[in-house]
Structure 1
Amino acid sequence: MPKLLSLRAGLGSVLFWSVISAAFIGPGTVTTCAMAGSRFGLQLLWALTFSTIGTVILQEAAARVTIASGLSLGELLTKAYGIRVRWLMVTLFGAVALGCAAYEAGNILGAVSGLALLTSLSPQLLTLLIGLLSMALLWKGSTQSIANILGIIVFSMGIAFAYVAISASPNGVDLAKAMVVPSIPPDGQVLVIGLIGTTIVPYNLFLGSGIGQKQTLAEMRWGIGLAVLIGGLISMAILVSGTLVSGEFSFQTVAQTLSLRIGSWAGSLFGFGLFAAGFTSCLTAPLAAAVTAKSLLGWSETSMPYRIVWLAVMLIGLLFGLLGVKPVPVIILAQAANGLLLPVVTIFLFIAVNNKTLLPAQYRNSLWQNLAMLLVVAVTAFLGLRNVWLALQ
C-alpha cells in the first residue's frame, strides 16, 4: 500500500510540475524546433539535450531553495539583500511582465493558427474563445488545478508530436549521435541560441519557486526531472517532425507536408499540437507574471494587484490577437530585457543556493551541482548578451 501511495504522489508531482513544460513549449518553441529540423535535419538536436538538462538543474535549484527556506526566490533575495535591491526587484518584475505581455500575443495567435488548421471558424472568433476560456481558468482555478490541466494537455500534445516523429522514421544511430554531439552548421548559430533560449526561460525560475513550497524534496526532484524531460522530448519530437518539411517555412506548409508524406491525420495532429502549445502558454505567461509579482513584490494570490497583473497580460495579448497584429517592437524590447534578465536571475540563484546563512547544509549545492550550474550560468550569460546584441541589431 505505501508503494501505491508513493507512486500516486510521484505521478501527481510530475503532473503538477508539467506547468514548467507548458510554459516553455509554446508556439515559439514549435516554430523554432520545426524550423531547425527543416533547415538542418538532426544537426541541432544536441542543443535541446543541453537546454533540457540545464532547465532541470536551474528549476531544481530554485525549488530546493524554496523548500529549504519557505521563501520564494524573490522573497529570498529581498531577505538576503533588503531594501538595497528593491530597485532590482521592480526592474526584474518589469522585465518579466513585459516579456510575458509581448509573448502572450504570440501564444494566442499560435493557438488560433492551430485551430485554424482544424476548423473553418473565423480567427477573431477563435481568438475571443481562447482568451475568454483562459481568463475563466485563471480567475477560478488555483495554481494546483491549473498545473494539472496544463499537464494533461502537454502530455496529449507530446503523444501527438511523438507519433508524427516516429512516423518520420529517423535513423536510430544518427538520432542518438545528434542528441549528444555538438554541431553548429553554417548559419545555424541563431537557431542554436533560439533552441536553448526557448527552453531555459527566466520567468520559469520564479514560477517554479513560487508554486513548490508544499512539496517534499524527493517529490519535487521526481516531478521536475520527469516533467522537464518529457517537455524536452516533446521539443525533440517537433524537431524530428520538422525534418520532413522543405521549402518556405509556415504552419500551413508544415501541416500540408505532413499530410502528403504521412497522411491527413499527421497534419491534423500538428494542428492540435500547435493549438495545445499556444493554449498552455496562454495560461502560463499571465500566471508567470503574476507569480513573479507575488515573489518579488510580496503580493498574495488573493489580492487584487495579483489578479490585475495576469489580467493585464492576458488583455494585451488578446487585443493584439483580435487585431491580428504581431507586436514586433515590443517583442524586440522584450528579447533585450529577457536577454539581460536570464543571466542576472541565474547568478542570483547560484548565490542563493550556496547561502550558508539561509540554507541548511543538506539543501546547499554540492561540488558537482556547483560545477554544473556554473556551466549553465556561463552559457545563459553568453545567450543573454547575444540576444541583446541581436535585438539591438
Structure 2
Amino acid sequence: MFRKLKELGPGILVAAAFIGPGTVTTASITGAATGYTLLWAVLFSIIATIFLQEMSVRLGVVANLGVGDALRKKTQHSFWRIPVILLVISAIVIGNAAYEAGNITGAVLGFPNFFSSTINPLVLIVASVAFLLLFSGKYKLIEKAILVLVSIMGIVFLITAILLKPDFQQVFKGLFIPSLSEDTALLVVGIIGTTVVPYNLFLHASTAKEKWKDRKSLAFARLDTILSILLGGIITMAILIVSAIAFEGQAKNITDINDLALQLEPLLGNWSSYFIAFGFLAAGVSSAITAPLAASYATAEILGWKQDLKSKKLRLVWIPILLLGVFFSSLGYKPTSIILFSQVANGLLLPIIALFLVWIVNDKNLLKNHVNNFWLNLISGIVILISIGLGLKSILSALGYF
C-alpha cells in the first residue's frame, strides 16, 4: 500500500498548482463578499477538474501523448493545423503570462516594499529563483519541498475552518443550491479559473506519459487524479468558509496581506501574518516555476520540438512568460486585483482548451477502446457550456450590458 502511495505524483502536482496565491486570494475575496453562497462554484470546479484532468491523464497513459502531441497529430494534414497551433499557443501564453503575474505578485504579497522603487525587489528575487531553476532544469527536489509547505498551509486552513464552527446548514445550502447575480459572475469565473487551470491539462498529460508507461496503470492514475483534486478542492472550500466566518456581515474588501491574515488569527494569533506571508511565498514560487514549464511543454508538443527544458527553443517560450509576469506584476495595481484577474483570464480560456481535449479523447485511432463514452461526453459538454455561459456573462457584466 505504502509502495503504491509513493507512485502518486502527477495528480498531486496538479492540485499543488491550483492551491497557490490565486486560490487563497480568490476564495478569500469570494467568502468575504458572498459568505457561503458560492460554495457551489467550488464544487462545480472540483467536478469539472476531475473529469477534464481524467481525460488528460488517460491520454497520457493510454496513448503516451501530451495534449499538444495529440493536437499536432490530429491536424497535421488539415487546413486547421495553423489556426489550431496559433490559437493554443496564444491561449497558453496569454493565460500563463496572466497567471505568472499572479504567482509572482502573490509570492511577495506578505513582504512590504521598503524601497521607493515601483517594483518590490522581492519580485525580482522570486523571478530570478524561478529563472535559475528553469534554466538548470534541477527544480524537482525544491518543488517537492515547496509542495510540503503548500500542504501545511492547506492543513492550517482546514483546522481553522473546524475551530470556527461554521453553520453546516448554510454550508450545505451554499454547496447544493446555486445562486448567481450580476455582482458575483466574475467571482464565479475566478473560482473556476483558480481550480480548473487550463495549463494543467497540458502538464498532467505530459507528466502522466512519463510516470506511467503501461495501460494497466490507468486505474491507479485515475485514483491519483481523483484523490489529489478532491484534497485541493476541500482546501479551497475551507479557505472560503474561513473567510466567510471571519468577515461575516462586514462585506470586507480584501486588499492586502493583513486582511487575509485576519482569517487565521483564531488558530495562529499574532503569527497569522507571518504564516500567510511565507505560505504565499512558497505557493507563489512553486507556481512561478510550473506555469512557464507547462507553457514550454505545450508549445514543444504542438510544434514537434524536442521536449528538453534546456533547449534554446523551450527557453524562448518560458523566458518571455517569466518576464511578462514580472512586467504585469509591476504595473502598480493592487496585488489582489492582479491575482483575481489571472484567475478570471484562466476561467475564460478554459472552454477553448477543454473543447480541444474532448475532441482528442474521442479519437479511436489514438485511444482505441478508451475513448469517451456517451456520459463522459455529456458531462464534459455541460461543463464546457456552463464555462462559456459564465465567461460571456462576466464579459457582458464588465461592459455594463448585463
Distance 1:114 1:332 in 2: 16
The alignment status of 1:254 with 2:259, answered yes or no, reads yes
Superposed, 1:34-73 pairs within 5 Å as: 34-73=28-67
Q: Sequence identity, in percent?
A: 37
> Deviation at 1:57?
0.5
Determine which of 177, 183, 190 is the counterpart of 1:187. 183
Which is worse superposed, 314-323 or 140-149? 140-149
How is 1:316-335 mapped onto 2 (pairs within 5 angstroms)? Answer: 316-321=324-329, 324=332
SS in 1 for 2:295: helix
1:154 matched to 2:150 = yes
| 1:295 aligns to 2:301 (yes or no) | yes
- Per the alignment, residue 30 of structure 1 pairs with 24
- What residue in structure 2 maps to residue 6 of structure 1? 4
Q: Is the 8 A contact 1:18 1:147 kept in 2?
A: no
1:172 and 2:165 aligned: no
TM-score by length of 1: 0.85
| More displaced 10-residue stretch of structure 1: 41-50 or 195-204 | 195-204
User: RMSD of the alignment, in Å?
Assistant: 3.2
Q: Does 1:278 find its partner at 2:284?
A: yes
Give the AA of the match of 2:4. S
1:10-45 CA distances to partner (integer Å, 9 max, x unpaired)? xx33xx422222332333322221111112211111
Q: 2:275 aligns with which of 269, 272, 280?
A: 269
Aligned residue identity for 1:306? L
Taking the aligned partners of 2:343 and 2:264, their CA distance within structure 1 comes to 34
Q: How many positions carry a matched residue from both structures?
A: 384
More deviation, 86-95/35-44: 86-95
Runs of 4+ in 1 over 6 A off after TM superposition: 119-123, 326-337
CA distance in 2, matches of 1:251, 1:337: 21
CA pair 36-8 structure 1, distance change in 2 beyond 3 A: same
Whichever residue aligns with residue 242 of structure 1, its letter is S
Residues 35 and 333 of structure 1: CA distance in aligned 2, closer, same or farther (over 3 Å): closer
Alpha-carbon distance in 2 for matches of 1:115, 1:218 = 44
Moved more, 96-105 or 181-190: 181-190
CA 316–344 in structure 1, closer or farther in 2 if over 3 Å, else same: closer
SS at match of 2:76: helix
Which residue type is aligned with residue 70 of structure 1? N
CA distance in structure 1 between the partners assigned to 2:82 and 2:338 by the alignment: 25
For residues 327 and 293 of structure 1, the distance between their equivalents in structure 2, rounded to whole angstroms, comes to: 29
Which structure 2 residues correspond to residues 299-310 of structure 1 after superposition, within 5 A? 299-302=305-308, 303-310=311-318
Q: Which one-letter code corresponds to 1:60 in the other structure?
A: E
Alignment check: 8 A CA contact 2:348 2:391 kept: yes
Aligned counterparts of 1:249 and 1:228: Cα–Cα separation in 2: 27
Give, as a single letter, the amino acid of the residue that structure 2 aligns with 1:290: S
**How far off its partner does 1:321 sit?**
4.1
SS in 2 for 1:359: helix
Task: Determine whether 1:204 maps to 2:200.
Answer: yes
Give me the TM-score of the superposition, normalised by structure 2.
Answer: 0.84
Contact 1:95 1:338 in 2 (8 A): no
Give the Cα separation in 1 of the matches to 2:208 and 2:151.
Answer: 21
Preserved CA contact (<8 Å) 2:107 2:280: yes
Over residues 156-190 of structure 1, what are the superposed CA-to-partner deviations in whole Å (9 max), with x where a residue is unaligned? 22123223322322123432343233233673233
CA contact (8 A) 2:105 2:338 kept: no
Query: Larger deviation: 92-101 or 326-335?
Result: 326-335
1:107 correspondence with 2:103: yes
Is 1:377 aligned to 2:384, yes or no? Answer: yes
1:141: Cα distance to partner? 3.4
Aligned-partner SS, 1:198: helix
Give 1:138's match in structure 2, choosing from 134, 141, 149: 134
Unmatched tracts of structure 1, length 5 or more? none
